[in-house]
Chain A
Amino acid sequence: MTKAVVTVKFFASLREHVGKAESEILASDAQTVSAVWLLSTNNMELPENTLMAVNMEYVDADHPVQQGDEVAFFPPVTGG
């Protein structure tokens, strides 16, 4: 049975800023990506230029979130 949670991941400078790499929140507590941010960071301000993904696809802050989703927050990418 799928747990009614949303997995939250933080990468790079944002992981250090938030102080954790991963957390879980109850899906019923957050309907959008921005709500997931607030819940999982104890209402920290969302840094400018933060990128967001749901299930490994880029989305906007108002994208809906469902149980079982993986939500990720990270700074602008710098590969290559």
Chain B
Amino acid sequence: MLIEIKERSFEPYECVLEYQKSAGFSGKYGATSVFVGSMRDFNEGDDVQNMMLEHYPGMTEKYLEKISQEAVAKWDILDSLIIHRVGVMLPNDPIVLVAVWSAHRAAAFDASRYLMEELKSRAPFWKKEALTEGERWVAKNT
């Protein structure tokens, strides 16, 4: 289980491969579910130039660990990886990676969905968008 907050751009698919190589479940996994959330260049009808992602150091990690442990308790999964960006990012930049490994697909699918939904509703992150004219805080998650 790994949680990581990154201040710089990252390549999610390389992170999946790298983690998979070093993790202790070689030969045991039959399913890998990978979700990548990326930054759009539009939101609520406006063009978005860039986005600043803020977090609460300490509490954010704590909640990502908490939901990862909940997923392990709920489903028969082998391992999970969550990486989330903070700082200023541009359209197409990956914001979040959630990867789950399990012996069979159902657990990996269900647990990765759970991790994403819980991350969005409980982990303290906030987005501020820079529009063509001015800035605005994203008021709520869709």
Contacts and interface: CB of A to CB of B under 8 A. Distances in A.
Contacts of A78: 120, 125-127, 137-141
Given A12-B137, A56-B59, A56-B62, A77 B124 contact: yes
A31 interface: no
Interface-central residue, B53, B56, B62, B96, by most chain A CB under 10 Å: B56
Given A12-B128, A74-B126, A80 B58 contact: no
B93 to A, nearest CB: 14
Contact of A53 (B59, B96, B120): B59
Nearest to B37: A80
Interface in A1-55: 9, 11-13, 51, 53
A12 B54 contact: yes
A11 B126 CA distance: 8
Given A11-B124, A12-B128, A13-B126, A80 B141 contact: yes
Contact of A80 (B59, B62, B125, B128): B125
Contacts, number: 71
A77 B120 contact: yes
B58 A13 contact: no
Interface residues of B, number: 27
Interface in B44-63: 53-56, 58-59, 62
A76 B139 contact: yes
Nearest to B115: A80
Interface residues of A, number: 16
B132 interface: no
A56 B116 CA distance: 20
Contact of A76 (B84, B95, B140): B140
21 contacts: A11-B54, A11-B56, A12-B54, A13-B126, A74-B56, A74-B126, A75-B137, A76-B140, A76-B141, A77-B123, A77-B124, A77-B125, A78-B126, A78-B127, A78-B137, A79-B55, A79-B96, A79-B123, A79-B124, A79-B127, A80-B116
The 4 closest A-B pairs by CB, nearest first: A79-B125, A12-B126, A56-B59, A80-B120
